[in-house]
Amino acid sequence: MMKNELSKKQSELLASFNKEELLEIIHVLIRNNELAQTTLVSGYLLESEDILKLIEKEYKKRSKSKRFFDYYETDIFFGELHSYMATLFDTIIPLKPAESEMLLSNMLQDFERLSETKDTSSGGWQDYYYYLVESWIKALSLQKDIDKVTVANKLFKIFQGEYYFSVSLLAEYKSTLGLDILRQLRDVFYQHKNDDEALELSYSIKDIEFFKTYLDREKEFLYPRYYLDYAELLIEDVRSDEAIVLLENLREKNNKLPVELNDDKIMELLIKANIEEGKKEEARQLCIDAFKEYYNHRFYELYENTLDKDEKGSAIKLFLDIANQYEENRFFYLLFLIEVERFDVINDYVLNLGKDNIIKITDSIIPSTARKVSSLLYKSGFPLSATLVRRALVEDVLGRGASKYYKYAVSDLKKSLDYGEKIQSTDDIASNQTYLTALYAKHKKKASFWSLAEEKIKGVSMDKDGAYYGK
């Protein structure tokens, strides 16, 4: 049911009105709502040819302004244009697909000019633009009397060098256009020496043979990433032996390739290909080598996939030992622990830092990650370490006097107090009140922070002598 559909009682009341009353209601609606007027006129009161003329007339009127629109005005402009045009096109496309396609084609090709006087930084134009694309493709697909070559050439005309639309997205319209048309379009791109678009589209429609033919003919790909795309398709096509040869060759010459090529992606695909080929020992060694280089949990997961259930305990110990080898890699070590959900180890790590060195955790991981760690520690039954991490985040902001982050520090203070309710005051960690007293004594000049804390945290109060916490 649509959320704006009338209720049963409302429908019954509407049905009880006579003709004159209904006409009066309609006139009131269209006087106060342009979209309602457009829906009524285009859907019920105009012939098809008149709707097409109305679209053209209204578009010219709305798009002729040469003044500059700021981002807020731009969002409103495209939002209103989208709503108006969608009402008309949704009605006319099934009735006049060829004529609709021509209008939509002109509007797509006019989009660059239309955007020149608009601040498009907020992205509010996207719904309108992608509606044009989708509607244009729909209008094309409804024309049963045009051949595939013609459709492909129309697509090429619109999308060659298109800044706002990646040709890879055309794969989403495979069911509408058909695979044959997309292959035909790919061939048109290739014939016009648009190799990048041809390969990108081939990858999207998983046309592995084009990659093979291209490499045989051209001897190398236009960009290194296409080697990875080709290898991925080979693995999916159960041709992992070919993928291994391709990737091994790529590793050998990788030092001669642009730095944009991700060596960790080569390793990931090479591991997957070896697993598919049943080469588990080779895959495991590649996982270890890759993890030592990149500290990415993906390689542990791939390693784990090669093991029996009773072997997994020793595997995690092996990878934890590797990750914990170098002090400069604390960030990756902690990220790995989070990904494999070893909160017992994170708890030990935090407690080993101690209350005096806990601030070091803010050097190892960014605040958003530290907050995630703290929350997960608390949920996993480690309130002590969870509290320490939150206190470290508060100290980090106050110690730097970073007033623009005070709202985050107040939030962290609140969490530290909440978590602190679950722990007892010991020699290792101060109680909430003792902690708050010490924090105020150290940072009492940060008046705006304390004012915000008193406002936002229930139970926190201030006077001339200090800060207090009581539920």
* pLDDT computed for residue 224 by the predictor: 82
- Inter-residue contact 204 to 170 (CB < 8 Å): yes
Q: How many domains does the chain divide into? A: 1
Question: How far from each other are the two terminal CA atoms of the chain, in whole angstroms?
Answer: 47
Q: What pLDDT, on a 0 to 100 scale, did the predictor assign at position 36?
A: 74
Among 176, 178, 174, 175, residue whose Cα is nearest residue 148: 178
Q: Which one is predicted more confidently, 101 or 28?
A: 101
Q: What is the pTM of this model?
A: 0.72
Whether 60 maps to a domain, the answer reads yes
Residue 110 lies in a domain: yes
State the Cα–Cα distance between residues 22 and 185, nearest whole angstrom: 51
Determine the average pLDDT of the residues in 90-100.
Answer: 94
Which pLDDT value is given to residue 388?
A: 92
pLDDT given at position 262: 65
| pLDDT tens readout for residues 390-447 | 999 999 999 988 889 999 999 999 999 999 888 865 656 788 888 899 999 999 888 8
- Mean of all residue pLDDT scores within the chain: 87
Q: 10 Å Cβ neighbour count for 363?
A: 10
Give dist(CA 452, CA 405) in Å, integer.
12
Q: What is the pLDDT of residue 2?
A: 42
Task: Tell me which long-range contacts 242-251 makes (C-beta under 8 A, separation of at least 24).
Answer: 243/269, 243/270, 243/273, 244/270, 244/273, 244/274, 244/277, 247/273, 250/224
458 within domain boundaries? no
Q: Is 273 part of a structural domain of the chain?
A: no
The answer to whether position 98 is within a domain reads: yes
Question: Is position 262 within any domain?
Answer: no
Residue 382 has pLDDT above 70, yes or no: yes
Cβ atoms of 316 and 291 within 8 Å: the answer is: no
Q: Which amino acid is at 118?
A: K
Question: Is there a domain that residue 372 lies in?
Answer: no
Domain residue limits at 109: 20-146
Separation CA 315–CA 308 (nearest Å): 11
The model's pLDDT over 138-194, given as tens digits with 9 standing for 90+, comes to 999 999 889 999 999 999 998 886 778 888 888 888 888 989 999 999 999 999 999
Is 394 a domain residue?
no
The answer to which of 67-76, 183-192, 282-291, 355-364 has the lowest mean pLDDT is 355-364
Confidence class for position 1, pLDDT limits 50, 70, 90:
very low
Instruction: Check pLDDT > 60 for residue 471.
Output: no
